């Protein structure tokens, strides 16, 4: 595996992996114990509803694929490999048929695609009637869990629990794909790490981690992710704050930190 950049505070390594459908797939393994697959999958759907349905249906194949790939790479018994729990979608919108308020609404729908899908359909996730999407684009759509981090004239960006959507209007002044991906990889890795601590608590165990990844590590991670850096751009701060809020990671870091501190006396 290729070690991450030396200036990264969350140590990791990465390696390219073959995926049956993705244009690109990179496995990031973090020293704290989390593994995150980053899949790049370009799409040109005829409508947002089609993209939303694909997104939910892909769960049925991508989650088992990730588990089996980890099993093969680790050469472990199948029962010892943890079940991947989540797929977060980061949408980078390059072009679309909308304009004005409808364009803004489209980004909101991308960040919360569940409103376009019947997830309880007997045969699996199914598209809602096309009039639903048309109505929302015409009348507007909002959700209390959606947080904006775009800058007028520069970008449009929204973060939600199930996805992040971003569109660049000024390439020189907007965030880059790499900045968005790096932030999400860090957040997802720490989300998985704190989820493991939560799972130990719910199983009635006293949570424990290697000393270098104990409560002080979580305290440092919380500070790094919630405090603006001296040379950090305003857009980057807004992005990080939006992703932290919608993921609930700040609360999880505090809870895991308290639990680990209690377990060591």
What pLDDT shows up at residue 130?
Answer: 86
pLDDT tens digit sequence for 121-149: 998 899 999 899 999 999 999 889 999 99
- Percent share of the chain, pLDDT over 70: 98
3-state secondary structure of 10: coil
> What's the predicted TM-score (pTM) here?
0.92
Mean local confidence (pLDDT), 197-209: 93
Q: What percent of the chain has pLDDT over 90?
A: 81
pLDDT at 104: 95
pLDDT at 6: 67
What DSSP letter does each residue of 106-135 carry, written as one string? HHHHHHSGGGGEETT-TTSSEEPPHHHHHH
What's the half-sphere exposure (Cβ side, CA atoms, 13 Å) at 113?
Answer: 24
Beta carbons within 8 Å of 201's beta carbon, 6+ residues apart: 207, 259
Q: Is the pLDDT of residue 254 over 90?
A: yes
Q: Check whether 37 has a pLDDT greater than 90.
A: yes
By the 8 A CB rule, do 49 and 127 touch? yes
Average pLDDT of 91-120? 94
Measured from the Cβ of residue 73, the count of other Cβ atoms closer than 10 Å reads: 14
């Amino acid at each position: 595996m290729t070690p991450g950049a030396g200036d990264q505070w969350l140590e990791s390594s990465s390696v390219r992996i073959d995926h049956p459908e993705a244009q690109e797939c990179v496995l990031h393994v973090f020293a704290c114990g989390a593994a995150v697959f980053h899949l790049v999958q370009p799409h040109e759907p005829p409508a947002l509803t089609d993209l939303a349905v694909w997104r939910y249906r892909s769960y049925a194949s991508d989650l088992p694929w990730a588990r089996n790939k980890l099993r093969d790479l680790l050469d472990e018994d199948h029962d010892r490999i943890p079940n991947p729990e989540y797929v977060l979608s980061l949408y980078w919108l390059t072009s679309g048929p909308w304009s004005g308020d409808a364009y803004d609404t489209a980004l909101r729908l991308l960040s919360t695609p569940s409103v376009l899908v019947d997830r309880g359909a007997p045969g699996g996730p199914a598209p809602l009637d096309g009039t639903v999407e048309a109505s929302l684009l015409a009348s507007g759509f909002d959700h209390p869990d959606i947080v904006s981090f775009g800058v007028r004239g520069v970008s449009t960006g929204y973060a939600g629990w199930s996805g992040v959507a971003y569109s660049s209007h000024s390439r020189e002044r907007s965030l880059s794909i790499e900045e968005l991906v790096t932030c999400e990889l860090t957040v997802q890795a720490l989300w998985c790490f704190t989820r493991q601590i939560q799972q130990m608590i719910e199983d009635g165990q006293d949570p424990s981690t290697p000393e270098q990844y104990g409560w002080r590590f979580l305290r440092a991670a919380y500070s790094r992710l919630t405090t603006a850096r001296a040379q950090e751009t305003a857009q980057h701060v807004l992005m990080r704050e939006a992703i932290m809020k919608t993921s609930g990671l700040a609360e999880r870091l505090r809870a895991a930190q308290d639990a680990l501190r209690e377990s060591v006396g």
